[in-house]
Amino acid sequence: MELVRLKVDVIVLAGGYNVILAAKNATQTIPIVMAGEGLDPVKGGIVESLARPGGNVTGITNLSRALGGKRLELLKEAVNKLARVAVLHDPDIPGTSRELKEDLPVAARALGLTVRYWEVRAAGDFERAFAVPNKERPDGLYVPGGGTLISTNLKRIANLALTSRLPSVYQSREAADVGGLMSYGADLADSYRRVVYFVDRVLKGAKPADLPVEQPTKFELVINLKTAKQIGVTIPPNVLARADKVIK
């Protein structure tokens, strides 16, 4: 890793789990500050605990994948008669696999929803995933975050959902901006501002092992009314009232 070779004073990483793990494996001495990793860093083996990270990694964790149940709940509130939800799934992303196996099934059962998984491993898989027979057509789409494949194809996914008239929910605000129906997740701008605190403490001599990993305190719900109109969905007033941003 080039930054390790240059012997920098601190490494700030806004990438996903694989990027942070690669940096941690490359150096045990240079402080690493996470800038909003979505995976639980304890379960992922990046830190020993949130309160006492140990090692050379600290920073912000958005725990975005732990919010899957809330996203399903919001989608059900927004879409009348939602019963079946398709979930895009990149099996090469470890955190996403855990979310699908442990978190979403429990949340779905509590909401009376059934989920089915659309596996995507390459860019060419998206069109295939959406080409389902009418009798198997879901009522909504859940798009987890994490991984380059999904994050670099958000507009493509949103367009496919729009063409299929499929209400969709995402963790990334960017997805709602490019045509997804709604998104819910940590306010990334707020999280990134908090990263400065960690960098300042490290540069003043604090050890990452002693700086507790912080979780987000501010979340945002974004709803794209333009998309809702195009797919024939009427967002209830009580859901709209909770939105931090409405795209018209």
**Chain segment 159-207, per-residue pLDDT in tens:** 999 999 999 999 889 999 999 999 999 888 888 889 999 999 999 999 9
Distance between CA 72 and CA 83 in Å, rounded? 11
CA atoms of 238 and 248, how far apart (whole Å): 17
Q: Reply yes or no on whether the pLDDT at 143 is more than 80.
A: yes
CATH number for the domain formed by residue range(s) 2-63+188-217: 3.40.50.2300
Q: Are 86 and 142 in contact (CB under 8 A)?
A: yes
Residues contacting 40, CB < 8 A, separation 6+: 61, 63, 65, 66, 95
pLDDT in tens, 22-69: 889 999 999 999 987 667 788 778 999 999 999 999 999 876 666 889
Task: Kindly report, as residue ranges, where domains of CATH 3.40.50.2300 are found in the chain.
Answer: 2-63+188-217, 65-185+220-247
Question: What is the structure's pLDDT at 94?
Answer: 62
The predicted structure's pLDDT at residue 156: 96
Task: Give the C-alpha distances (Å, rounded to integers) separating 85 from 4, 39, 117, 199.
Answer: 44, 22, 9, 41
Query: Does pLDDT of 15 surpass 80?
Result: no
- In terms of Cβ atoms closer than 10 Å to its own Cβ (0-12, 13-18, 19+), residue 80 is exposed
pLDDT reported for residue 64: 65
Q: What is the pLDDT of residue 97?
A: 65
Distance CA(115)–CA(113), nearest Å, equals 7
Instruction: Domain 65-185+220-247: give its CATH superfamily.
Output: Response regulator (3.40.50.2300)
- Rounded to whole angstroms, how far apart are CA atoms 78 and 93? 28
Provide the percentage of residues in the chain whose pLDDT is more than 90. 61
Can you give the pTM of this predicted structure? Answer: 0.86
Query: Binning pLDDT at 50, 70 and 90, where does residue 9 land?
Result: very high
> What number of helices (H) and strands (E) belong to the chain?
12, 10
Strand-strand pairing, 140-143 and 168-170: parallel
Which tens digits make up the pLDDT trace of 62-93? Answer: 766 668 899 999 999 999 889 999 999 888 77
CA gap 181, 184 in Å, rounded = 11
| Torsion angle, alpha carbons of 53, 105, 82, 223, to 10 | 10
